[in-house]
Amino acid sequence: QRYTQSNGRRPFGISALIVGFDFDGTPRLYQTDPSGTYHAWKANAIGRGAKSVREFLEKNYTDEAIETDDLTIKLVIKALLEVVQSGGKNIELAVMRREQPLKILNPEEIEKYVAEIEKEKEENEKKKQKKTT
């Protein structure tokens, strides 16, 4: 226990996502695991439902899907909606930009994205139904 409670030591017993930027502005995402090892990712999730979110991101993450802030936020919310049952009510989201303060989206902003996503899903369902008839 003494080893894990002093400064400069690797964390044992937790998983964490660490986000930051290189000197050239390239965004970086790392995940630490309970053993203290770490891995670099383009997108990832930890916690309950992480497997479903990760599978969604593996299928849907592309450079085109993250071209703009709006598209990136939509992708993230779509991934979270795979595991969150109550729409945007249980989603908290923050946007990190280099040399800018962290921006936490308010619930109204998140609900706006959720409504757009649900509308797109309905339109896609209608298109599928038209194709089958």
For tokens 């930890």, what's the residue? 46
d(CA 72, CA 63): 10
Report, at the CATH architecture level, how domain 45-133 is classified.
Answer: 4-Layer Sandwich (3.60)
Supply the pLDDT for residue 81: 93
* Six-digit token string for 27: 């965004």
The helix (H) or strand (E) run that includes residue 18 is strand 16-21
- In this prediction, residue 21 has a pLDDT band, given cuts at 50, 70 and 90, of very high
pLDDT of residue 128: 86
Average pLDDT value over all residues in the chain:
89
